[in-house]
Amino acid sequence: MQSQLFEFVCLVLIILALVMLAGKLRVAYPIVLVLGGLGFSFTAQFANIVIEPEVVFFLFLPPLLYEAAWQTSWKEFWRWRRVIISFAFPIVVLTSCVVAVVSHWLIPGFTLALGFLLGGIISPPDAISATTIMRQVQVPKPLVSIIEGESLLNDASSLVVFRFALAAVLTGQFHAGEAALSFVLVIVLGTLIGLLVGLVFYAIHRWLPTTPSIEVVLTVVTPYCMYYAAEYFHYSGVLAVVAGGLLLSNQRHILLSYRSRIEGVNVWTVLSFVLNGLVFLLIGLQLPVITRQLGGISLGSAIGYGLLISLVLVVTRLLCAFGAAQFTRLASHFITVAVANPGWRGPTVIGWAGMRGVVSLAAALSIPLLTPAGQPFPYRNLILFVTFVVILVTLVFQGLTLPWLIRKLQPDEFPNTLPEAYQERLIRQTLARQALEFVAAQTGPNRYLQNLHTRLQLDLTAYEQAPAGRKQHTENELRQFQLLYADLLARQRSRLHELNRRAELDEELIRKHLALLDLEELKLQEKQLPAAGTP
């Protein structure tokens, strides 16, 4: 137990070091973590670490999916629902079919059932790395919303394909009609179970006497309950977590108090960071174990199969992205769509952002060692190795080239999308006007309200000013203000620490005011004035 705990601590320290290195290199940290894990896998201390599929599916996946669903905007999800659903379901199935045909043709003795099994494993892209890269490069937010929305659903569809293909390999039978009906039931009933569990936790948050600590713990427990409930009845645990997460996320302003929301963000930020770090590091650490299991298949042949299938995946996703854009253009003549003419730049970026991740590797590792007849599972070791090569190639090659591609193409802003600077000014103006009207309507002398009215009036005047032709001057003023205000906050902190030396002052009150200064500095760092010329 102590050795395992020490090993875990070492892994976390390695993650922190590699993430700091990624920041210095300005490279998305998932890429550096996978390459770092690959390097550490050749050392004696980390050569035998194996990912257990149960750990990924039952420990890592529920909270990561729930956190992604919690961060996803339901408004954006619904706006791009047709594109998201097309990538998450039909395109995943189509990709599985293409991989099945190509692998059956390419690998001697590889059956179509094994091909579908491999396709179900490697068809879902991993959005963590893609969105991490996209946030480091200037890219329209709708593209990020589409990638994030796709990632919430494609794991479920690919795992369903994997489940049916595995059953076909083990039993030697496959009935298309029965499989299609089961596919629909697994998806629909998994979603319904997630919504039902979500409603139970909605009632707990809403009507039971909870505290902020209890509410934060409930948010951590919720995804596991959703996932286990759906998997217990053999339905999609992934979709259960996604559906329940979107339901509760949309009601967070009702369910959680302001303290719970603040504390919850801090807890989930750290939790998701550690889990994501462990996932990507463990991917790189699997190379020696997987290579040793190749058996009679030569390493060169296995690498060749992996590279060719990786190429097939990249080309298939790009073609599907362009096909979806053309279909949207055609459909716009008959129905209302979010964007009638998607162009080619956005679909190219979406098509290239198809890196594979830990769900694929966990699915491959979950293939049983033996068939029901007691025979070794056919080509299990090769499937594992090809999956690893696909993850490595797509994550590193596409991950490193995606920023360059985005800068080169410079995808245009989508129609009906206001510039962020305009949105920022509009929100601040609206809030300031509403607050000013409310305070002005209050009767009776109150010097605190008078001070608040004066401050709100100054804020509104600043937001309504349109400094045309003075953009650089305005930015300089803002930067000077931020530096001076940060210095002021630092001086106030220092003064609070001096006050804390006085015996008659309670340290708990001092810490409360230090926390308020921290919040004020956070607001300062996030405060950005809109560009010049916006209303």
Residues ≥6 apart with Cβ < 8 Å to 427: none
Q: Report the distance separating Cα 373 and Cα 141, nearest Å.
A: 52
- Going by pLDDT thresholds of 50, 70 and 90, the confidence category of residue 44 is confident
- Rounded mean pLDDT, 371-376: 82
Residue pLDDT, tens place only, 475-499 = 677 677 778 888 888 898 898 888 8
pTM value is 0.83
Q: 29 Cβ partners below 8 Å, 6+ apart?
A: 18, 19, 22, 23, 132, 277, 280
497/511 Cα distance (integer angstroms): 9
Q: Are residues 516 and 474 in contact, defined by beta-carbon separation less than 8 angstroms?
A: no
Query: Does position 525 have pLDDT exceeding 80, yes or no?
Result: no
Mean pLDDT of 382-403: 90
pLDDT band for position 534 (cuts 50, 70, 90): very low
> Regarding predicted confidence, which is higher, 75 or 412?
75
Bridge partners of residue 376, in order along the sequence = 370
Q: Phi and psi dihedrals of 235, rounded to 5?
A: -115, 180
Handedness of CA 109, 112, 118, 123 (dihedral sign): positive
Integer Cα distance of 166 and 160 in angstroms:
10
Is the separation of the CB atoms in 161 and 119 below 8 Å?
A: yes
Check whether 466 has a pLDDT greater than 60: no
Domain ranges of the chain: 2-409, 420-526
Reported CATH class of domain 2-409:
mainly alpha
Band (533; pLDDT cuts 50, 70, 90): very low
| DSSP conformation class of 370 | B
pLDDT at residue number 220: 95
Nearest to 117 by CA among 183, 169, 155: 169
pLDDT digits (tens, 9 = 90+) for 214-241: 999 999 999 999 999 999 998 889 889 9
Name the H helices within 251-344: 252-255, 258-285, 287-292, 299-331
Half-sphere exposure (Cβ direction) of 13: Cα atoms closer than 13 Å: 6
One-letter amino acid at 29 equals: Y
3-state secondary structure of 469: coil
* Predicted local distance difference test score (pLDDT) of residue 79: 84
Alpha helices in 441-506 (DSSP H): 447-464, 471-499
